[in-house]
Amino acid sequence: MPEIQKHEVVHHLRQATSQLLAELNAWDNTKPDTVTGDILEIQSYLKSQLLDSPDLITRVLVSGIGVQVLVAYIDGLVDTVMVDQDIIAPILKSQTLPEKWDTETLHTGQVTKETRWTKIWPKLLRGNTIICAQEQSAVWVVDTVKYMQRPVSRPETEAAIRGPQEAFNEIVLTQMNQIRRRLPDNRLTFQKVQLGTVDQHQVIVVALRGVVNPGLLETVMYRLHRIHMDAIPNATQVGSLIRDHPRSIFPTLRYTEHVDFVVWGLEQGKIAVLVDGDPFVIVLPATLWDFYQTPMDYNSPWYDASFVRFIRIAGFFVTLYFPSLYIVFTTTNQNLVPYQLLTTIIGSHIGLPFPPILEAILMIFVIEIIREAALRLPKALSTVLGTMGAIVVGTAIVKAGFVSSQIIVIMTVTALSFYSVPAYELVGSWRLVNFVLLASAQFWGLFGVLWVSLALVVELDSMVSFGVPYLSPWIPVNWRSLKDSVVRLPLGQWRQRLGSIRPPRMSWNRTSFSKIGHPRLRYHQNRQR
């Protein structure tokens, strides 16, 4: 056998052996979890566990008093300048014993002592540096994490014309700093929860102590601590595990990337849940009316915000009932339509091959295909595709004789009304309800639409979000919270916080005005000034 082939065979055997040893170590529960004092054994253990990964850097040094030291870290996750200047250089010059390095040698921000590998591995793989001294049964874990993150940018999914334009990014520490900067209150608390037995995601529960209901905070912490899964990849997965009614199609948690909207919720007594690696923050509890509120509502005049909210509610009714009522009045209950309008509608269907229900379903699929294509393409192309697709496809379908011109108008208005909902997670729910209403209109007519509507109200009324009724503040009526529902009253008239969340501290506005209202300068006083 040639010499080159022998070396290749030996190399493959070594790799297979290392991989087999790593898998055996991973499944071996009887192996001691404590740190031994042999740095060469520790170095071999680290390499075998990571299969000689090229990003694992291990270096054996000799301190100033002649003690052998092993320094190990993951390249790319640590600040190498900090490792060289604050760890390696001081150790080479150190004249103290390893037991006192945290107070006399290492000058970085955080230094902890660990003795078990179950605690060391997560910290090493997150960017910390471990230091092992010869004949020491513990290691020093030094915080040298270098956060690779995108800069703080404008919100992409919740665009706002007025108000702050700061969005969260994927680093949970940056998210905490953004909230802390906007709410510099010593009552602001951050509680850490570690989720996932494999990826060990860091979850932070944010609350404003003294304003949040203690029972609400205790419930959130209990539901988070009872999660036992291998991996928790994002905030949506965390939300699905702690929400009420997990099988319901209606969301009971609000996801947002606006920093100011999260701070506003905290000030009202809500709780925010931050998930490391996800720029969307969970705000809870969330009722149905919370999904029709945007951050810009609180950065606009009260009359403008109230009018826009009224438009959103009108879009909600158009989304649900416009297509189904069209099917009702053209198919099953034609006697409810005025004669002239009925003649126009039926006249447009003469010669068409499909009934109105199939026309509506065909247009729904066409609109959904255009929407999905626009989402997947680059932004510049998606705008052109959405405009040209709507014009060209709509005109071509009508001229080809597949659908009537009325159904084009109805389905276009319905598709636009879908996106009057500020929260994207509620759009999919109304899509499914729209399909059910279309089917009931086709089979049972107006009575079918009424029965489905009644069943929808009963279902929504039976739902709660962390103890708050889903249709609050309207069902049951909560007069304190009506000031921020369909109509947003001026903030000067807010005397108390929203009552649906039941915060311990209800007082909000303590400004007192006289009966004559705001003090005004008279003309001669203004002239003198």
pLDDT at 503: 77
> How big is the chain by its Cα radius of gyration, in Å?
31
| Cα separation, 300 vs 297, whole angstroms | 6
Structure confidence by residue, pLDDT tens digits, 60-90? 888 888 888 899 998 888 888 888 888 888 8
pLDDT over 60 (residue 528): no
User: Which residues make Cβ contacts (< 8 Å) with residue 188, sequence separation at least 6?
Assistant: 179, 180, 206, 207, 208, 209, 266
For position 243, what pLDDT does the model report? 92
What is the rounded CA–CA span in Å between residue 347 and residue 345? 5
Q: pLDDT category, 426, cuts 50, 70, 90?
A: confident
The torsion angles phi and psi of 460, rounded to 5 degrees, stand at -65, -35
Nearest residue to 32 via CA among 23, 20, 45: 45
| Predicted structure pTM score | 0.79
Q: How far is CA 357 from CA 26, 52, 309, 345, 403, in A?
A: 58, 63, 31, 14, 10
For residue 495, CA distances in Å to 157, 398, 448, 482, 490 come to: 33, 56, 44, 13, 11
Task: List pLDDT tens digits, range 106-162.
Answer: 877 788 888 888 888 888 888 889 988 888 888 888 888 887 777 777 877 777 777
463 pLDDT exceeds 70? yes
pLDDT of residue 125: 85
| Matching residue, tokens 């007519």 | 445
The per-residue b/e assignment along 102-134, b for 16 or more CB within 10 angstroms, e otherwise, is beebbebeebeebeebeebbebbeebbbbbbbb
Residue 279 has pLDDT above 50, yes or no: yes
Average pLDDT over residues 215-226: 92
Distance of CA 302 to the CA centre of its chain: 28
Q: Supply the mean pLDDT for the chain.
A: 81
Q: Count CB neighbours of 178 within 10 A.
A: 21
Residue 195 bridge partners (DSSP): 201
Q: Does the structure show a pLDDT above 60 at 526?
A: no
Q: Report the range out of 278-287, 327-336, 375-384 with the highest average pLDDT.
A: 278-287
* Rounded average pLDDT over 308-327: 88
pLDDT for residue 274: 94
User: Where do the domains of the chain lie?
Assistant: 32-142, 172-286, 302-469
Residue predicted with more confidence, 14 or 77: 77
Residue 185 has pLDDT above 50, yes or no: yes
Rounded Cα gap, residues 442 and 456, in angstroms: 18
Average pLDDT over residues 409-425: 82
Q: Provide the pLDDT for residue 155.
A: 79
Query: pLDDT at position 220, please?
Result: 93
3-state secondary structure of 131: strand
What are the φ/ψ torsions at residue 254 (nearest 5 degrees)? -105, 135
Residues 418 and 431 sit within 8 Å (Cβ to Cβ) = yes
